[in-house]
Structure 1
Amino acid sequence: MDRELPLYRDPVFDGATDPVLVWNRGLRQWWMFYTQRRAAVPGPGVAWVHGTDIGIAVSEDAGTTWLYRGIARGLEYEPGRNTYWAPEIFWAEGLYQMFVSYIRGVPDRWEGHPRQILHYTSANLIDWRLAGPVRLDSDKVIDAAVRRLPSDDYRMWFKDEAHGSHTYSADSADLIAWSRPVPVITDRAHEGPNVFELAGWYWLITDEWRGLGVHRSTDLETWRYQGLILGVPGKRAHDADFGRHADVVETGDGETAYIFYFVHPGLAPGTDPDATYEARRSSIEAARLRVVDDTLVCDRDADIPDQFLPVN
């Protein structure tokens, strides 16, 4: 794989962030959904991170190359231009399930706007149907991550900005009704939780805006903080930033996984990230994950092979 180029750049607004990958069972392709930030569109304040659609890029060669295919259809929740962030998508209950962050309108400030998570379903990954808003006892929730538990129930981890910007979780038997949320990771503010399994451990990563915090567990209940990965900018010019809001694809061999994260390659230290297009633009990168001596390890500068994603 040519590591002298980013793995993926959005060709419309150049603001691909918050990726999630899902295997298209019908077409036998990897599909990447992401927040389509409008980095190339000038506007007041942080309007460029709002009014966003959910972009779609498709790989027919197991991750080597990616082609933009448009946006997810059918997400309209209220009239007008609204904001969709950070999709979580997976196959369950005979359908593709999407949990996506939603904000009304196109705010030009970060604060002061209710945020919620909406649930959609699809048979084909293109056309989505609203199942309803997720009731989580807070009007400031974003960044859902869902995993099936050994009990066959589901657990959702998410960021609750009304409670310290910490990770909370709720459980469900049917992906519709959710239990009362409980705190999970409360040591520092963060966002973008993601949970996966590798080398006999469960791992929970969070975006600490200085790299990705890593937490380890044997039971999905008690988590031990390990430190950061992707906290040192990469050596390649297009990867010279902290790794941000990520998704992980488990390969199935129990030894290796791949992390997909976004970066602001033109964001120099001390630069206002909202000031210029060069600072705002973002791209998506990938790197291999391994576990060495019970520690999660990520070498972002190491080459990854062509066709590195599993084909089911």
Structure 2
Amino acid sequence: MSAPIYRDPIADGAADPTVIRKQGTNEWWMFYTNRQPAAPGPKFTWIHGSPIGVAVSTDDGASWHYRGTVAGLDDPRDAGQRNTHWAPEVIWAEGQYHMWLSYIPGVPDNWPGIPRTITHFTSPDLENWTRVGPLTLNGPRVIDACVLKCPDGLWRMWYKDEDAGSSTWSAVSTDLYTWKQEGLVLSGSPDAPPHEGPNVFVLGGWHWLIVDEWRGQGVYRSQDAVNWERQGIIGGEPGTDPMDIRFMRHADVVVAGDHGAVYYFTHPEWDELNAKEGPPDVAARKTAVHHGRVTVVDDVLVFERNIAAGIPLLKP
């Protein structure tokens, strides 16, 4: 049964999870967008004003426990007001942790025209973060960073450009601090429908790129992390648990031996396939985090959704 493995105990709006092991410990940390389903205000106020939540597991992902929210991530120019933090990407590299955060000043009530930037932070311990600063990419409305070192020796960042048809772009770096724009990766065309939340991982001899198409995850594979071939969609079919019948949204994959542990979120009480607008009430806005498993069979990424809660998927 694919029951939720975690719900935020304060706001009940955990979304966009990313999972990383704390070096030298048996702790796995989940960072997530902490949406505010019960927030007052018009239109999409509730999806803004979100801090970054943290949950920790000490049993390889079998159970998760709320730790609080991350402080110190605001732009100093926006001090004294609530701001919006989305979709953190957290990795360990070059002797420290790095976070790339989708950042929006204030608490907007709508989407159009609102600037969004990807901002870099570093930390020695996953708890105390130092702001490096925003990246200059190809537009003023970019979100959802994913970072991985690639076969060509470069660090590569994939991200969503909201002003370019909700498409995925890339930038490259030799040191994780200075980034050079590389170009369009997935176009937002009929062959690569509009999407968000790119996530890249290596499994079964391939680089895999998954993106949230708001109907499941579009899947692409590559030998070099540059040229991508579309496979299809995973996570569009409902799970067996009543709380996991909606499509898989914005996912992270942690490779553990010969499989990948998939962390994704859903709106358990919102029938989004038949919706003409956003969630109509607080219940529909609430979200839950689930886990699943991916393996590679005959060079195809295979997703197993119906994994019971309590299974330690992060154990190789």
Matches within 5 A, 1:167-186: 167-186=168-187
Distance (Å, rounded) in 2 between the aligned partners of 1:29 and 1:200:
28
Q: Is 1:113 the equivalent of 2:111?
A: no
Task: Please name the residue that 1:301 is paired with.
Answer: 306
Counterpart amino acid of 2:314?
L
Aligned equivalents of 1:27 and 1:53: distance in 2?
Answer: 25
How many angstroms does 1:59 deviate by?
0.4
The one-letter amino acid paired with 1:200 is G
TM-score (norm 2): 0.93
SS at match of 1:180: strand
- 2:49 corresponds in structure 1 to 51
Q: What is the deviation of 1:205?
A: 0.2
4+ residue runs of structure 1 moved beyond 6 angstroms?
none
Equivalent residue number for residue 143 of structure 2: 142
Residue of structure 2 equivalent to 1:270: 274
Q: Distance in 1 between matches of 2:135 and 2:45?
A: 25
Q: Pick which of 48-57 and 142-151 moved more.
A: 142-151
Per-residue Cα deviation, 1:237-278 (whole angstroms, up to 9, x for no partner): 110100000000000x2x211111000000124244332111
- In structure 1, distance between residues paired with 2:149 and 2:178: 15
Q: Kindly state the Cα deviation for residue 4 of structure 1 after the two structures are TM-superposed.
A: 6.7
Partner of 2:295: 290
Q: CA deviation at 1:304?
A: 7.0
Q: Which residue of 1 aligns with 2:212?
A: 207
Measured after TM superposition, the shift of residue 20 of structure 1 is 0.3
Letter in 2 for 1:196: F
Structure 1 residues 37-65: Cα deviation after superposition (integer angstroms, max 9, x where no partner)? 00132321110100000000000111011
Q: Which residue of 1 aligns with 2:5?
A: 7
Tell me which residue corresponds to 1:194. Answer: 199
Runs of 5+ consecutive residues of structure 2 not aligned to the other structure: none
Which SS does the other structure have where 1:279 is aligned? helix
Distance 1:82 1:302 in 2: 36
Unaligned runs of 5+ in 1: none
Choose the corresponding residue for 2:247, options 229, 232, 242. Answer: 242
Q: Distance in 1 between matches of 2:297 and 2:108?
A: 44
- Residue 289 of structure 1, CA deviation: 0.4
Greater CA drift, 296-305 or 202-211: 296-305
Kindly indicate whether the alpha-carbon contact (under 8 Å) linking 1:85 and 1:102 is maintained by their aligned counterparts in 2: yes
Q: Judge conservation of contact 1:155–1:170 (CA < 8 Å) in 2.
A: yes
Q: CA deviation at 1:308?
A: 2.4
**8 Å contact kept, 1:45–1:274:** no
1:229 alignment partner, one of 231, 234, 240 = 234
Asked if the contact 1:26/1:124 (under 8 Å) is kept, the reply is: no
Q: Deviations over 1:169-202 (max 9, x none)?
A: 0000111111123001113211000000111111
TM-score of the two chains, using structure 1 as the length reference: 0.95
Point out the more displaced range, 117-126 or 146-155: 146-155
The equivalent residue for 2:259 is 256
Equivalent residues, number: 307
Q: CA 1:69–1:304 in 2, change beyond 3 Å: closer, same or farther?
A: closer
